[in-house]
Amino acid sequence: MRAGIGFLGAAALILAMIAGPASARAASLEFPIKAAFLSKFAPFVEWPPTAYPSSDSALSLCIVGADPFGVAIDQAVQGQHLGAHPLIVRRLDRIDANSGCSIAYIGGSKLQSVEDGLAAVQGTPVLTVTDQAMSSVRGAIHFVVRDNRVRFMIDDEAAAKNGMNISSKLMRLALSVHLRSGGRL
Amino acid sequence: MARRPIWRSWRVIPVLAIGAALTLLLAGVLAGLYGEKLYQAQKLREASVEAQILGSTASAAVVFQDGPAAQEYVNALQANPEIEAVGLYDEHGALIAGYHRGGAPLPGHINGPAAPLFEGAHLVVTEPMRQAGSVMGTVRIQSQLEPVSRRFTRYGGAALLIGMAALLLGVLGAAQAALTRANRELRHRARALAATNSELQVQIEEREKAEEALRQSQKMEAIGQLTGGVAHDFNNLLMVASSGLDLMDRTDDPKRRQMLKDSIRQAVDRGSALTRQLLAFSRRTALKPEVVDLASQVEGMRVLLDRSLREDIVVQLRFARDLWPVEIDPHQLELAILNIAVNARDAMPNGGRIEISAENEAGFSDGALSGDFVKLSVSDTGQGMAPEMVSRVFEPFFTTKARGQGTGLGLSQVYGFSRASGGDVRIESSEGKGATITLLLPRSDKPLTVRESQTAREEPAHGHGKVLLVEDDDGVASVVGEMLRDLGYEPTRAENADRALRLLDRKRRFDLVFSDMVMPGELDGIGLAREINRLRPELPVVLTTGFSEAAAAARQDGYRLLVKPYRIEQLAAELQAARNDPHAAG
């Protein structure tokens, strides 16, 4: 895992430095970086206390539908914990309220569109992550690539609908934030 | 008793002060070390807190490799001038963002959090970056410490102050000790001075006694010199009287008898004058000054001078007419003249001449002395004196005479007398040309003091009446009884005061009591007079004595007094006066 993250760090660095003409090469680093980001969101998110059946139950990072990460996501998540909860990767074709996912990367597929996936977990404590590279439909966090860098947008209202709080620290890094009604940054 | 603690304290004070100073210094060093430790701990805490705050706020930027966002957080710390360098590292120790105030490069990679490091003027703190219990990276802060030299300068300032305080303490202590010592020394000196002073006082008293004794012995010496001449003279007088009486028995020629009587009378008068002078001279008590005529005063000393000097010395008196009166003590004057004359006599071993002269000196002025004076000079034709002696002759105890021949007080008495009389004394002398001593005595405006009248030779006044004669000496009683009868009185003799009182008690009528003063028995003349005054206040009393002391007492009490030896004329006048005015003293 150390090697993976080391690779990710180096890749992110390179990605940040290289210019537009090298986009083909940049694309090769895009998903490993997104995988690393996915594995790091948990500490900056608060789930409602009812989200975990027990104190040491695993925190599931579900890849729903298309999987653009491959092994990179497994490497990134390996050994990650949030408190006493170990982080694990699960790959699902479709998601619903009972899938037991804490974080769901919804890439969409023929079996379930991104919009359907989002609708399926609305109101349940799931941090929904969507990707501009997959669909323009947005979850609570939405990956974009801007200036050859992987960035994200945050829809705090979407998170609020699922009973979640996203740390303001994370929000400050976001390209844009859609605040929940009455909320402020 | 209190000395020992004082003695101890002036030694202990500087030691205490030095001890206090050392304690202060030690306390200062300890305070400095403690302060240094506190300072380091505080700096460490400050840097750690800064790192933790930065780590907490910048954790997301580090985690998501957002360099610009991380750099913004880091740059915010540039406002703190004490922070030299800041670095944010991800969980693998790679630098995400940072800055160095001096522009030096930051370490590109670190091995996670480490113990804080004090490095000279720098403190390096690394703190883990946590988010929700997970370590997300590391914050490294390099903080600037106050340079050691400056801190030591600060401590040095404090040390200097403490040192100065210690020094001050020491100096104060030493000064206090010195002061205490000086005080002690001063007390010793004062005590020694007091002792010396009292010793001096004793010496002065002894010296005064010695001087008084010497003065008296000087007078006695003068009397001693008189005695030989006086005894010789008395023998001559007695010879004249005795042979005169013998010759009177052998002749019936009235003329020849009258001549013999006159010579006997003359001899007796001279003897009487001589004893009077001796009594006055030997009187110890200082008499009051009187306003006198110098000419008659010195004239009255002729007999005394003749007896005090040798036969080969001629005394000449030369006084100006109308001399001003002077206010002096006549007896002191006589003594002064006698002293000068005796000195002159001794300066003329082969005989010579002493000239005593006096003249008025109007408007005299010399130094503090000014006004009208009478100048009384005594010159001799002796061997004179060298100038260096002239300046010293008035000093007490200065004498040119051989041991035992003079006291050296003679001329000092002259000096003392002239000064006490408001005048001065001068001496002129040169070797081989004699000496002149001049007394300057201030002129007096007061009338001459009336002296006891020297009764002129005249026929005695006859009286009458019964006289109680009180006299213990049979011889005197017999002669005086004869004189009283001759004057017309009826005398009754009593041998003493008791007998006289008994005679008065018997209601015998007396017109007058004439009593000797010095008598055996319980009452003397004065006592008797007082008793009579009490019992018979109208009865006049006349006292008589040859003793100068008794005479002074009688005069003081206001009794009529007849000084022995007296002549029949004086007796007649005194008794007459007493009968006419019983209560007025003569």
Which H or E run contains B141?
Answer: strand B134-144
Q: Is the C-alpha dihedral spanning B71, A15, B107, B126 positive or negative?
A: positive
Architecture of domain B12-146: 2-Layer Sandwich (3.30)
Nearest to A9 among B60, B66, B90 (CB): B90
Q: ipTM of the predicted structure? A: 0.79
In a domain, A185, yes or no: no
Measured distance CA(A8)–CA(A18) in Å, rounded: 15
Cβ distance of B66 and A2 shorter than 8 Å: no
In a domain, A127, yes or no: yes
pLDDT score for A24: 44
Distance from CA of A136 to the nearest CA of B (A): 22
Distance from CA of A6 to the nearest CA of B (A): 7
Give the CATH number for residue A47.
3.40.50
* Contacts (Cβ under 8 Å, ≥6 apart) of A95: A62, A64, A101, A104, A106, A112, A117, A120, A121, A126
Residue corresponding to tokens 């989002």: A118
- What's the structural domain count of chain A? 1
Cβ distance of B65 and A172 shorter than 8 Å: no
Cβ distance of B94 and A5 shorter than 8 Å: no
pLDDT score for A53: 64
Measured distance CA(A107)–CA(A70) in Å, rounded: 13
pLDDT score for B505: 85
Cβ distance of A9 and B132 shorter than 8 Å: no
Chain A: which residues have CB within 8 Å of chain B?
2, 5-6, 9, 12-13, 16, 33, 37, 40, 42-44, 81-83, 167, 169-170, 172-173
Containing structural domain, residue A88: 2-178
- Of the pLDDT bands very low, low, confident and very high (cuts 50, 70, 90), residue B45 is very high
Cβ distance of B64 and A37 shorter than 8 Å: yes
In a domain, A183, yes or no: no
Distance from CA of B159 to the nearest CA of A (A): 51
Which chain A residue's Cα is nearest to B130?
A43
pLDDT score for A1: 38
In a domain, A70, yes or no: yes
Nearest to A170 among B60, B94, B136 (CB): B60
pLDDT score for A50: 76
CA-wise closest residue to B560 among B549, B580, B547, B575 = B575
Long-range contact list for B432-435, CB < 8 A, 24+ apart?
B432/B383, B432/B384, B433/B384, B434/B347, B434/B352, B434/B379, B434/B380, B434/B381, B434/B382, B434/B383, B434/B384, B435/B344, B435/B347, B435/B379, B435/B380, B435/B382, B435/B384, B435/B385
Residues of B in contact with A76 (CB under 8 A): none
Cβ distance of B132 and A44 shorter than 8 Å: yes
**How do the domains of chain B map onto residue ranges?**
12-146, 290-442, 465-580
Cβ distance of B91 and A5 shorter than 8 Å: yes
Which H or E run contains B146?
Answer: none
Measured distance CA(A128)–CA(A102) in Å, rounded: 9
Cis peptide before B325 (omega within 30 of 0): no
CA-wise closest residue to A96 among A121, A115, A116, A75 = A121
pLDDT beyond 80 at B223: no
Helix axes of B254-282 and B548-557: crossing angle, nearest 10 degrees: 80
pLDDT score for A13: 44
Distance from CA of B71 to the nearest CA of A (A): 12
- Of the pLDDT bands very low, low, confident and very high (cuts 50, 70, 90), residue B356 is very high
pLDDT beyond 90 at B89: yes
The tokens describing B336, both together, are 């002064």
pLDDT in tens, A127-167: 999 999 988 899 999 999 998 889 999 999 999 988 889 99
pLDDT in tens, B29-43: 888 888 888 988 998
In this structure, what DSSP letter does residue B243 have? H
Give which of B65, B72, B73, B95 to mutate to test A binding, by max A Cβ within 10 Å. Answer: B65
* Contacts (Cβ under 8 Å, ≥6 apart) of B303: B270, B273, B274, B277
pLDDT score for B548: 66
Cβ distance of A43 and B63 shorter than 8 Å: yes
Mean pLDDT in residue range B281-290: 55
In this structure, what DSSP letter does residue A93 have? S
pLDDT beyond 60 at B284: no
> Of B24 and B328, which is predicted with more confidence?
B328
pLDDT score for A17: 42
Class of domain B290-442 as given by CATH = alpha beta
Residues of A in contact with B94 (CB under 8 A): 9
> Of B585 and B515, which is predicted with more confidence?
B515
pLDDT beyond 90 at B357: yes
Measured distance CA(B516)–CA(B496) in Å, rounded: 9
Residues of B in contact with A165 (CB under 8 A): none
SS3 for B17-55 is HHHHHHHHHHHHHHHHHHHHHHHHHHHHHHHHHHHHHHH
The CA distances from residue A71 to A91, A93, B260, B294, in Å, are 12, 17, 193, 163
pLDDT beyond 70 at B409: no
Q: Is the C-alpha dihedral spanning A124, A127, A132, A133 positive or negative?
A: negative
pLDDT in tens, B432-453: 888 999 999 999 888 887 755 4
* Amino acid identity for residue B368 in this structure: A
Nearest to A9 among B69, B92, B132 (CB): B92
> Of B65 and A13, which is predicted with more confidence?
B65
Cβ distance of A43 and B136 shorter than 8 Å: yes
> Of B360 and B422, which is predicted with more confidence?
B360
pLDDT beyond 70 at A36: yes
Which chain B residue's Cα is nearest to A152?
B64
- Of the pLDDT bands very low, low, confident and very high (cuts 50, 70, 90), residue B276 is low
Cβ distance of B132 and A83 shorter than 8 Å: yes
In a domain, A146, yes or no: yes
Which H or E run contains B269?
Answer: helix B254-282
Nearest to B92 among A5, A167, A173 (CB): A5
- Of the pLDDT bands very low, low, confident and very high (cuts 50, 70, 90), residue B327 is confident
- Of the pLDDT bands very low, low, confident and very high (cuts 50, 70, 90), residue B554 is confident
Nearest to A43 among B57, B61, B134 (CB): B134
Which chain A residue's Cα is nearest to B59?
A169
pTM of the model: 0.44
pLDDT score for B48: 92
In Å, the largest CA–CA distance within chain B is 187
Cβ distance of B57 and A169 shorter than 8 Å: yes
Measured distance CA(B412)–CA(B308) in Å, rounded: 19
Mean pLDDT in residue range B329-354: 85
Measured distance CA(B580)–CA(B468) in Å, rounded: 17
Among B165-174, B255-264, B342-351, B569-578, the least confident range: B165-174
Mean pLDDT in residue range B115-122: 84
- Of the pLDDT bands very low, low, confident and very high (cuts 50, 70, 90), residue B402 is low
pLDDT score for B88: 92
Cβ distance of B64 and A16 shorter than 8 Å: no
Mean pLDDT in residue range A54-78: 88
Mean pLDDT in residue range A72-96: 89
pLDDT beyond 80 at B228: no
Q: Candidates 3.30.43.10, 3.40.50.2300, 3.30.1490.20, 2.40.50.100; correct CATH number of B465-580?
A: 3.40.50.2300
**How much of chain B, in percent, has pLDDT values that exceed 90?**
19
pLDDT score for B470: 93
